Structure 1
Amino acid sequence: MPSLVAVVVAHDSAGALPACLAALAAEHVPALVVDNASRDGSAVLAEAAGAAVVRNARNEGYGRANNIGVRAAERAVHVLILNPDVVLQPGAVDALLAAAEAYPDAGLYAPRIVEPDGRYFYQARSYLAPYLPNPKGRLAPPSGDACAPFLSGACLMVRRDRFLERGGFDEEIFLFYEDDDLCRRFADAGHALVHVHGAVALHGRGRSSAPERGRVFRTRWHQAWSRAYVARKYGLPDPSLGMLAVNAPKAALSALALRRVGWERYGGSAAGALAALRGRSALAREGLDP
């Protein structure tokens, strides 16, 4: 029985997948790619690289597709959830598994994620974290293993049975804040979130999917909607009205100035906030309602 299976969700990710899968193969980690209806041959490329592939007929979103992958990895003890633009460095898997053995009661484990500019990702506070409070967001990156208020869904490891017991990613969320929500539920259940400093992964931020027209608007729509959704879920103040008030005028000015980038950015945020206020779901927007 494999101790670890990597689950990689792909959507038009042919440009990033080869390096991701090659690094997993070098670490002797079997990969399961969940293809979200890619149009660029991502699924074929993944199979050629030796990965098992689950083909979704439509784009199910990040969390829902990961849930499909974790359920399909039936023989795994641990699953490593990672974006296709994440490249594990030598020894990262051994360090993560060693951390799981050293801290068996922890819930989630994440490597030191190094960004393209050489800095490593560490979020000093979380929107949803009632634990490890850091109200001013003071950034003091750890120099060794540490409990964290948040672990990025770009790359994290979890016991498969524990992930499924907690319900996996919230399937009402299409994109964004699904990792914040997962971290909150694990912490509420008494499980630590562990930053594993000796495990290193390179993150080509924003390279998971190929660029496409309207992507910025769609991304900002889901960021705004998901923030409102998780706020309501945990009894936090609803940010929708404030987001709408800030972004709608900027969207209008961008439209008048014929600034497409500004219109997509601010218009997407305003539209997502308005949809949340009106009670529209993210799944309905993506045609995923049952």
Structure 2
Amino acid sequence: MPAAAITAIVVSYDSAEVLPACLDALAGEGIGTIVVDNASHDDSRAIAARHGARVIANARNEGYGRGNNIGIAAADSPYVLIVNPDLELRAGAAAGLLAAAERYADAGMLAPRIVEPSGRVFLQPRSLLSPPHLNRSGTMEVPEGDACLPFLSGACLLIQRELFQALGGFDPAIFLFYEDDDLCRRMRDAGHALVHVHDAEARHGRGQSSTPSPQRRFKARWHLAWSERYIARKYGLAEPSPVRTLQNLGKALGYGILLNREKMFAHAGSVAGARAWARGETALAHEGLEP
């Protein structure tokens, strides 16, 4: 199956530093790319255009899942490849994923072997949405070949476009966090396998999609706290205890005394996200995305 069967979707937000390597790797695989830019303040859009990508310029930051929904709706290929801007496909990875899609007729999503800068292969051993017998403590053993897994990383996913749309795409109520777990759960519930493809490799910077700052850590932890509670309620699971919010408040105050701004902002974000959930505030309202 030719590379024309795939359209890569890259959602960028202040990703100018990492976009060139990501887009060069996709071009090397012969894959056309749509970059959905979430109102970046840097040169992400210009960089994407210079690298031959089709650019969809959002007027506002729509978030990760919603941005991918927009990009996938604009694609017309049989398959879409969701790619984080700080991820680089290795040579032959796209062909390997396509070949695996042909081998495994029940595969709903396929992911390459994702290698972090340390050389560690990233696998997700636990999730709120995994049945207890599939949740594993510690590090998951890396498969020696292709394997069905309970969850795949949203950093790189090959999906049949029509299947993605039939399932409703990423949950549009989520701005950030747990959207890939939620999609994996819905794929499994619909009877589709999640396949880790051993011979397809990608390198992932993890957390390098945007330049870090205390304010961004606050925002990320706000959404992590909110989305965790949203997902728990969506699937009838126990929501995090209020004790955790008190613990995060204590840590925020403690790190504030120590003048550790990074950790103070992170824990304060967790407190703010939990309080917003308790007040009934939505993630979209928080980001100014609701009318």
Q: TM-score scaled by structure 1? A: 0.96
Q: Distance in 1 between matches of 2:49 and 2:133?
A: 42
Identify the residue that residue 15 of structure 1 maps to in structure 2.
Answer: 17
Kindly state the Cα deviation for residue 116 of structure 1 after the two structures are TM-superposed.
Answer: 0.7
- Moved runs in structure 1, 4+ residues, more than 4 A? none
1:77-104 per-position Cα deviation (integer Å, ceiling 9, x unaligned):
0000010000000010011001100112
Alignment partners' CA distance in 1, 2:48 and 2:136: 43
Q: Tell me the amino acid that sits aligned with residue 111 of structure 1.
A: P
Deviations 1:187-221 (A, max 9, x none): 11111111011110000111111234511111111
Give the 5 Å matches for 1:20-31: 20-31=22-33
Matched, 1:185 2:186: yes
Deviates more, 1:11-20 or 1:133-142: 133-142
**Residue identity opposite 1:173 in structure 2:** I
1:4 is matched by which residue type in structure 2? I
Cα contact 1:224–1:243 (8 A) shared by 2: no
Map of 1:162 onto structure 2? 163
Deviation of 1:140 after TM superposition, in Å, equals: 1.6
Q: Structure 1's 138 and 14: CA in aligned 2 closer, same or farther, altered over 3 A?
A: closer
* CA-to-aligned-CA distance 1:268-290 (integer Å, 9 cap, x gap): 11111111122111111111112
Q: For 1:242 and 1:24, how far apart are their aligned partners in 2? A: 45
Deviation, 1:132, is 6.2
Residue 280 and residue 168 in structure 1: after superposition, are their counterparts in 2 closer, same or farther (change >3 A)? Answer: same
- Equivalence for 2:227: 226
Distance 1:68 1:44 in 2: 19
Q: Which residue of structure 1 aligns with residue 58 of structure 2?
A: 56
Q: Structure 1: which 5+ residue stretches go unaligned?
A: none
Q: Name the CA distance, whole Å, in 2 between partners of 1:128 and 1:206.
A: 23
Q: Residues of 2 paired with 1:150 and 1:249: CA distance?
A: 33
Tell me the equivalent position of 1:121: 122
Give distance in 2, aligned partners of 1:147 and 1:37: 36
The number of residues matched between the two structures is: 289
Measured in 2, the distance between the counterparts of 1:141 and 1:162 equals 28
Q: Structure 2 stretches of 5 or more lacking a match? A: none
Calculate percent identity across the aligned residue pairs: 57
Structure 1 counterpart of 2:47: 45
Q: How far apart are the structure 2 equivalents of 1:97 and 1:116? A: 25
Q: CA RMSD in A?
A: 1.5
CA distance in 2, matches of 1:219, 1:276: 15
Residue type matched to 1:16 in 2? V
Deviations 1:53-87 (CA, angstroms, capped at 9, x unpaired): 100001000000000000000x2100000100000
Q: Aligned partners of 2:108 and 2:246: how far apart in 1?
A: 38
**TM-score scaled by length of structure 2:** 0.95
Instruction: Return the alpha-carbon distance in structure 1 between the equivalents of residues 263 and 208 of structure 2.
Output: 21
Note closer, same or farther for the CA distance 1:123–1:226 as it changes in structure 2 (3 Å cut): same
Pick aligned residue for 2:7 from 5, 8, 12: 5
8 Å CA contact retained: 1:241, 1:277:
no
The equivalent of 1:208 in structure 2 is 209
Q: CA–CA distance in 1 between the matches of 2:17 and 2:32?
A: 20
